[in-house]
Every structure is written in structure tokens, then in C-alpha cells.
Amino acid sequence: MARFAVRMEVDLPADMDPDAKADLLAREKAWSQQWQRSGEWVSIWRCVGEYANLSIFEVRDNEQLHEILWGLPLFPYMTMQVTPLATHPSDIHA
Amino acid sequence: MARFAVRMEVDLPADMDPDAKADLLAREKAWSQQWQRSGEWVSIWRCVGEYANLSIFEVRDNEQLHEILWGLPLFPYMTMQVTPLATHPSDIHA
Amino acid sequence: MARFAVRMEVDLPADMDPDAKADLLAREKAWSQQWQRSGEWVSIWRCVGEYANLSIFEVRDNEQLHEILWGLPLFPYMTMQVTPLATHPSDIHA
Amino acid sequence: MARFAVRMEVDLPADMDPDAKADLLAREKAWSQQWQRSGEWVSIWRCVGEYANLSIFEVRDNEQLHEILWGLPLFPYMTMQVTPLATHPSDIHA
Amino acid sequence: MARFAVRMEVDLPADMDPDAKADLLAREKAWSQQWQRSGEWVSIWRCVGEYANLSIFEVRDNEQLHEILWGLPLFPYMTMQVTPLATHPSDIHA
Amino acid sequence: MARFAVRMEVDLPADMDPDAKADLLAREKAWSQQWQRSGEWVSIWRCVGEYANLSIFEVRDNEQLHEILWGLPLFPYMTMQVTPLATHPSDIHA
Amino acid sequence: MARFAVRMEVDLPADMDPDAKADLLAREKAWSQQWQRSGEWVSIWRCVGEYANLSIFEVRDNEQLHEILWGLPLFPYMTMQVTPLATHPSDIHA
Amino acid sequence: MARFAVRMEVDLPADMDPDAKADLLAREKAWSQQWQRSGEWVSIWRCVGEYANLSIFEVRDNEQLHEILWGLPLFPYMTMQVTPLATHPSDIHA
Amino acid sequence: MARFAVRMEVDLPADMDPDAKADLLAREKAWSQQWQRSGEWVSIWRCVGEYANLSIFEVRDNEQLHEILWGLPLFPYMTMQVTPLATHPSDIHA
Amino acid sequence: MARFAVRMEVDLPADMDPDAKADLLAREKAWSQQWQRSGEWVSIWRCVGEYANLSIFEVRDNEQLHEILWGLPLFPYMTMQVTPLATHPSDIHA
């Protein structure tokens, strides 16, 4: 298992067709929730005041993380920052 | 309750006295674990390849978060990046 | 109560329809003034020479701040920088 | 009257003599509070997790602002970011 | 009187209608020269190799500077960098 | 197996004791070559004109990569940039 | 022979015609694989979570590297970062 | 005579009309070669992997350099970085 | 004649000997005022809140500007940003 | 033959022993002039107002360029930016 933090910023065109946008966001939510339910997408939080989220992933390996992120319907509108994580020696749960 | 992500980078002088350094790190660990045990410091992960961590805090308010961070024995050697978090509409646990 | 400084930069497309723009700006002003009147949006200043403002918020928590910012009609055209604030030990009013 | 936002970051050497540091910080506090009492230094807030503050000044002119900032005992250890402010058209108090 | 340096970068769309562009630039020049003649816009220089200028302003206060800059016909296409200036102790004219 | 690119920049103090430096560099070389021989440190190249290298790692997981990097005798003098890699669809060897 | 690392970021317009895009990507893949087969394009990896790759080239000289990169069908949509590489003294294969 | 290094990056819209683009590039080349022949544009090199060049100019003064650069047919699509140069004390030709 | 804007930031060590510092600053002032009197150093302003100045120079050529700047007693402690200037077409004095 | 532009910035400690500094600079000059005489170091210019130079190299390959740069006595005090160059299609000499 490999843990990663991913910061995703979304930049949608302001003049996007409302129906196309609603459909896109519905598919985005479904994709995210499918991977939350299967356990790889552990946490997702909104960054206050930004169209952005900070997420924690626990995946099999780099390949699986890329498959999840690349498959996001919003991927073409996103800028991602991926940080590989390891156990911290001060972690009381480790 | 307010949730925050904090990225802490540590830059210790390379010529620090080994005993002073060991003492500093022991006090750092104790301070971190005290706040982990009381529940405000929810998660701490090492950023791979860096003397840095990414942490999640759930605190009473901004004042308490600053009290925890300012009190870190390593604070004078740290650069912090604080991101306030809110609930994400796609979060299946929200 | 939690205090935040927020810097908002606006980037409107230069060829926006004048009526759509006027309507957008009127709704922006109404949203801002509603939250000024209810007390959460404490101060708003123009940054000289920029289509930007610096604002101070006193909100219940991170969730409320995000609700106010996300609801801004200009939000899709804005870049925000959010700084959580705490009491300063030199503040004569604290 | 001219209004400015100033962000001040402090970077003290970690090995500063404790007495010299205490004296420096006492003089810093006195200088800040003198200008708060005379009305030019309107607000000062701690930036959470940083040895930094965000302050609002209402001064006679640029010369007076520089005199206040340059006179800070911590000035040689500070990095400043100065933003001139003007009235915002949405301000309900303007 | 308050003195400021302002760096203005212009980014016009490459496919702008030539007549609209000519009209815009004529109005820009008129606005600039009006404020040069009244004395607030003291100097304007072209930055070599850039569609940009460096200007010096001597204005009544921040409000007047913002009024001049905001009123520029090219303002929606400009990025500005505003630096408040004060007397330098080595200035032989001060 | 997980593949990573790591860029390591070295910043040694110019006045380091020559013997201490020679010892440090010898231990650095030994640590690097031990992990090259065991197969995790696949490639190491010098970045031309810089005290820096670009390396490719194939490791068991994030934990092992951090163990290798953290264990470098030069680690306290290094700045690292870690990029997780995955298979590229155009790779003729994949 | 000269070795280079090249990081290529792709930014395709989100509204590109699907057939034109499919054709473009097919030609991109063919161009990349032709140079992989002839030996100049030694490695290509996907950067996780990004529409980007990191590649290693072993070319005759700078001219040939530029010919390969400039000829990429995706070149007009790419941002490249080119790092010339040399042998590292710790490389066990050198 | 004044010597300058100028780095010019070109960013053409991907959907530019091929004939308009061919005409633009032909006029660009002619303008560049005219100034190379008259001696002011001393050197021009392609930056590998980029739609960019590095050029050396020897001009009468700043005014002439700006006239040459501003007159480039590609100027509206370019970002320039201008570095004034002087004689180096180690130059064996100086 | 060639005109330049130069922004000079000063970073003196905080523990500099007071006499050495006073002597350095006196020589700096003398050097600056000598070139102001001879006409090359046209203007010098303090950047508010910074140990920095913005200056305008009118010099014979690049060589002379470098001679003036390099000769500054504070040069080893300064970071400079040099912008070559040309006549602006909206300048009413040109 | 491979051509490169290299920008070298020097940052010497302000309190360096004058004799050690003079010796270092003499060896730097000798190393530079040796490679100028043998033809690899084609041009060297001072960047106005900076302790920096811009140089053009024509070398056998990446290895030779690194050998020249790494061998500079000032290397430990330098930050380098290396740009590989190729023939430009508008070059009248190509």
C-alpha cells in the first residue's frame, strides 16, 4: 500500500454550457465516490475559498493512483500536485 | 471544530550540537504526541525525500491551531503552509 | 469566531457582454453588502491599481467562510488567497 | 490620510542571545503599541502558524509609513510586503 | 503629496479589431497625457523589448492614484505593480 | 514495484573541513552504490553545470524510497524533488 | 553521444474536436515510438496525476535533440524543460 | 555601442490560419535577417526543445534596440527577457 | 545617452560591527551623491517598508552603468534589477 | 560540436579573507582564459549591475562542458543556468 496527498485545482471555462457542466460534475462525483467506497480515496476536503480539494489516497501502487486521477472527468480542467507520503516517526498510530 | 492541513518543512543547521539536537527532537516528538493524544493533531505523515511533514488538525479555532504550532520546539527552524479545509460535497462520510 | 484575511483578484473576460457584466457586478455587490450587514464581512478595501480587494472576515468557522466566498457571483472569475488570523501579542485591543 | 496593508515576516537567528532577544522584542512591542495608541497602526493580527503579522495602517503619507516601519527594532530581521489601499465601491461604510 | 512607481504591462488579444484597437490606444494616450499635463503623472518610460511602461506618479493620495489607474482605457488588459516611494536619505535634492 | 524520479541538489558550506568533507563524500558514494548494486537505485546522472543529480529509483514502496533518501550522508545538505512515475502508453517496452 | 532528460507537459484545449485529437495523438505516438526504436528516445515515463512525461534521450548532439522535439505533433501544446546530463562519479555502470 | 542578450519566447495560437502563419513567419525572418545583415543582430540561436531563441544585439542605444524588437512581426506573440551586457574582465578579447 | 531603472535591495548582516557599518554607509552615500552631482544618477527613492531603493540613471552606455553600480560600497550586499528604458510614445516631454 | 549558453551568478561571502579572495579570483581568471584560448569558451560578458556573467560555449559534448564548469575555482559559490542551443532557421550564417 502506498499513501499520497493530492491537491487538485479546478479551472472550468466560465462560459461552459450549464447542462454539459452539470453532467460533468455528476460524473466527477460518481467517480470520486466509487473510489472512496472501494477504499483507495481515503479523504477529500475542500480548500476554503478555492475551487480545489486536498485528498488522501491509499493505493496499490503508482499505476493505480494514476489510473484513478487520469480517469477523473474533470482531469482536463485540473492542475494536480502529488506528494508521496511515508510513516512519520512521531505518529502515535504507527 | 475547524480542520486544517499544515505542511511543515524543517531546516536545522548542519552543525548543531548533537546533544542539543537530540533534546530538541525529543521535546518536538513529545509535543506532537501530546496533541495527537488529545485529538487535535489528527494525522501526521512524512513527505518522502524531504525533512517535512503533512499534518491534519481538528482544532477549536484559529487561536488553538496557532498555540499548537507556535509551541513546537522546532518552530524557529520550520516553514509552515496552512490551508483551512471545509467539507467537500463529494465526501461520502459528510 | 474565526478571523481571516482574504485577497480576491478578479479577471473578467475583456469581451463580456455589458449587460451580463452589469448584472453580475450588481449581484456581487448585493452579496458582499448582505454579509457586511450581518457582520461576517468586516472590512473590504480596494488594492490600488488592481482589480482586487483585501477583506477581513469574522466567521463562525471555516465552513461559513467557504459558503460566503463560494457564493460570490464573481467567484468563477476570482483567484483567492486565504490567511487565517489569530490574536497578536502586541495588539493593545486584545 | 492613506491606508495600507503591511505583511511583516520575521526571521530571527536561532542562536540569538536570549537576553538580547528579550530586549529586542520588548522594544518592538513598545514601538508597535506607541503607534497603535496614536492611531496610525490600526490593526495587527498574527498569521496562524507563521512568525508573521498582517497589519493595517492609516498614516499621513508614504513618508510617515516608512518612518514607522523603518523604526521597528525588528526591521533588520523582517521582510515586508506593502499594499496601498483605497475605498472599495461595495464598502457599506464608505 | 505621495509618490509612487507603477509598472504597467499590457496584454492585448492578438486578434483585436484594428479600428477598435486604434480607438482604444488613442483614448489611452489622451488619458495619460491629460494626467501628465495636470502634473500627477510625472514620468513615463517604455521598458525596452516589452509592451510595458514604468511610470512615476505624484498624487494627492492613494484614492487619486487608483482613480487615475482604474480610468485607463487599457486597464482591463493591464497587469500593474505599484510601489509606494519615500524620500531617500542620500538624495541630494531632498 | 514503484518507480520515481528524484532530483537532488547539494549545497555544502564552502568552508567545510576538507577531511570531514572527504569522509562525507566517501560515505555518500558507498551508500549510493550499495543501493545501485541491490537494484533500487537504477540510474544516476550528473546535471551539467550543477552540484545536482537526476536519479531513477525502482523501490518496493514509498517507505523504502524514503529510507534510502533519508539515509544519504549528504541528506542534510540536499534539496530533493520527488516525482512518482507510471507506465507511459507510448512506451514500446511496456 | 549526449544524454538529456526532458520533461514535457501537455496542455490540449478542452474543446478540441475528438477526431482531430485522436489523429494528433496517433501521430504523436508514432513519432515517439519511431525514435524509441532507433534508440535516441531511451525511456519515457508518465508523471503520476499529470498530462506530462519524463523522458531520457541519447542523441548525436543538440541539433538532433531539437529535431526530435520540434517534430512532435503535440509540440505546439507542450512546455518542455531540457536538462543536459553527464556521467555521475558514483555511477557503478560508468 | 551597447550589447544586449535577449531571450524571445514565442506563443502562437494553435489554431492560427496556416496562410496567415506562413506569411507572419516569412516577414519575421525577413525582419530578423535585415538587422543581422546591417550588423545590429549579431547572433541568433534556437533554445533546444523550445519555441524560443537567444540573441545577441550590438546597437547604438536602448532606443534602437526597442525599435528592432517592437518591429518584429511576432512581437505580439512574444515574451522577451532583456539583459544589458558589459565587458567582462576575464575576456581575452577585451 | 541611455536611461535605466535600477531597483537595489540591501541585505546587511544583522551582527555587522557598528563602526564598520557606519563607515560603509558613509562611503555608499558619498559614491551615490558624487554620481548624482555629475548627472548620471538622476533620481533615487526609498521603497516604503523595504531596505531598498528605486533609481533612474542616464548614462553614456552599459559600461558606465556597470562601473557605477559595481563601485557601490554596498554592492556585495545588494541584489539589483536593471531595466533598460526607452522613450514612450505617450510622453508629452518627448 | 555542441553550443550552450551558461549564466553564472557568483555569491561570495562578504567577510572572505582578502588574500584568499584575490587568489581565488586569479585562479578563476586563469581557468576561464585557458578555455577561451583553446576555443571552447567562446564568449563571456558581464551582466550589468550583477556579479554574474553570460557565456557561450562550443564544446565536444555534455561531459566536456561539465568538466569546464565543475573545474571553475568559483564553482562552489556559483549558481548556473545551462541552456543547450541549436541552429536557428533565420540565422544568416547557418
Please, are residues J10 and J77 in contact by the beta-carbon 8 Å criterion?
yes
Please, which residues bridge with residue E44 across strands? Answer: E55
Q: What is the pLDDT of residue J53?
A: 98
Interface test with H, best of I56, I59, I61 (most H CBs within 10 A): I61
What pLDDT score was predicted for residue J73? Answer: 97
Buried b (16+ CB within 10 A) or exposed e, D12-34: eeeeeeeeeeeebbeebbebbee
- Alpha-carbon gap: D82 to the closest alpha carbon of chain E (Å): 8
> Which three cell numbers, joined as nine digits, stand for B76?
524557529
Tens-digit pLDDT profile for residues A30-73: 999 999 999 999 999 999 999 999 999 999 999 999 999 999 99
What's the confidence (pLDDT) of residue D73?
97
* Minimum Cα–Cα distance from J88: chain G residue: G63
* pLDDT surpassing 90 at residue B15: no
Q: Which residues of E touch I81 (CB under 8 A)?
A: none
Closest residue in A to F4 (Cα) is A62
**Of the partner residues B12, B48, B50, the one whose CB lies closest to the CB of residue F62:** B48
| Interface touch J84/H48, C-beta < 8 Å | yes
Which residues does chain E have with pLDDT short of 70?
A: none
Q: List the beta bridge partners of residue C43.
A: C56
Share of chain G above pLDDT 90, in %: 96
In the predicted model, what is the mean pLDDT of residues A12-33? 96
Report which DSSP code applies to C46: E
Residue I61, chain E, CB below 8 Å: the answer is: no
With touching defined as 3 or more inter-chain CB pairs under 8 Å, the answer for chains G and I is: no
Q: Do G82 and J84 touch (CB under 8 A)?
A: yes
CB-CB under 8 Å, J61 with G2: yes
Residue F80: the pLDDT is 98
Domain ranges of chain A: 2-85
* Biggest CA pair distance of chain C: 49
Phi then psi for residue A46, to 5 deg, are -80, 135
Helices and strands of chain H, counted as H and E runs:
2, 4
Q: Inform me whether the pLDDT recorded for I15 exceeds 90.
A: no
Q: Is H89 on the interface with J (CB under 8 A)?
A: yes
Give pLDDT < 50 ranges for chain H.
Answer: none
Asked whether A48 and C69 are in contact (CB, 8 A), the reply is: yes
- Rounded mean pLDDT of G62-66? 98
Query: Is C2-85 assigned to CATH 3.20.20.20?
Result: no
D79 in Cβ contact with D9 (< 8 Å): yes
* Chains A–B, number of C-beta pairs less than 8 Å apart: 81
Q: For the stretch J6-16, what's the b/e string if a residue is b when 16 or more beta carbons lie within 10 angstroms of its beta carbon?
A: bbbebeeeeee
Query: Which residue out of A62, A64, A68, A69 would a mutagenesis test of the F interface target, given it has the greatest number of F Cβ atoms within 10 Å?
Result: A62
Is chain H adjacent to chain J, meaning 3+ CB pairs within 8 angstroms?
yes
Cβ atoms of residues C31 and C38 within 8 Å: no
Q: Cβ of D18 under 8 Å from any chain B Cβ?
A: no
Mean pLDDT score of chain I: 97
What subunits touch chain D, counting only 3 or more CB pairs under 8 A? B, C, E, I
CA distances from J94 to A44, B51, H44 (A): 56, 50, 10
Pick the residue from chain C with its C-alpha nearest to A12: C76
C28 and chain D in contact, CB less than 8 A: yes
Instruction: Quote the CA–CA distance of C31 and B70 in Å, as a whole number.
Output: 36
Please identify which residue in the block is written with the cell numbers 525511456. G43
A84 touches chain B (CB under 8 A): yes
Interval B4-25 mean pLDDT: 95
Residue H10 to residues G65, G66, G72, G76: CA-CA distances in angstroms? 19, 16, 17, 10
Angstrom CA distances, A61 to A26, B53, G54, stand at: 27, 21, 18
Confidence of residue G57 (pLDDT cuts 50, 70, 90): very high
Q: Does H76 touch chain E (CB under 8 A)?
A: yes
Q: Which residue of I has its CA nearest to H81?
A: I83
Comparing CB atoms, the residue among I12, I14, I49 nearest residue D69 is: I49
- At residue F94 the predicted structure's pLDDT band, cuts being 50, 70 and 90, is confident
Q: Is the CB of residue A79 less than 8 Å away from at least one CB of chain F?
A: no
* Cβ-based burial of I40 (10 A; exposed 0-12, middle 13-18, buried ≥19): middle
Of E83, E87, E92, the CB nearest to I36: E92
B51 Cα to chain D: minimum distance (Å): 18
- Nearest chain J residue to F45 by CA: give it: J63
Residue D12: half-sphere exposure toward Cβ, Cα within 13 Å: 17
State whether residue E81 is helix, strand or coil: strand
- pLDDT, tens digit, for every residue of C58-78? 999 999 999 999 999 999 999
Looking at beta carbons, which residues of chain F come within 8 Å of J6?
49
Calculate what percentage of chain C has a pLDDT beyond 90: 96
Q: How far apart are CA G88 and CA F85, in angstroms?
A: 22
Contacts of E89 in chain I (CB under 8 A): 29, 46
Q: Tens digits of per-residue pLDDT, F19-60?
A: 999 999 999 999 999 999 999 999 999 999 999 999 999 999
Q: Which residues of G touch J85 (CB under 8 A)?
A: 62
Name residues 30-49 of chain F within 8 A of J (Cβ). Answer: 46, 48-49
Which residue in D72, A63, I84, F64 sits closest to H68, CA to CA? Answer: I84
Which stretches of chain J score pLDDT less than 50?
none
Q: Determine the pLDDT at residue J15.
A: 85
Query: What value does the mean pLDDT take over residues B57-63?
Result: 98
Q: Using 50, 70 and 90 to split pLDDT, how confident is the model at F8?
A: very high
H80 has a chain I CB within 8 A of its CB:
no
* Chain B residues within 8 A of C1 when measuring between CB atoms: 61
Note the pLDDT of residue C7.
98
**Grid cell locating A11:** 479551472
H63: number of Cβ within 10 Å: 18
Residue C87 pLDDT > 90: yes
**What pLDDT score does G15 carry?**
85
Q: Is A92 on the interface with B (CB under 8 A)?
A: yes
Subunits next to E (3 or more Cβ pairs <8 Å) are C, D, H, I
Q: What backbone phi and psi angles, to 5 degrees, belong to F34?
A: -60, -45
Position B94 confidence tier, pLDDT thresholds 50, 70, 90: confident
H or E segment and range at residue B85: strand B78-87
Alpha helices (runs of H) in G1-94, residue ranges in sequence order: 18-37, 62-70
Residues of E in contact with C51 (CB under 8 A): 75-76
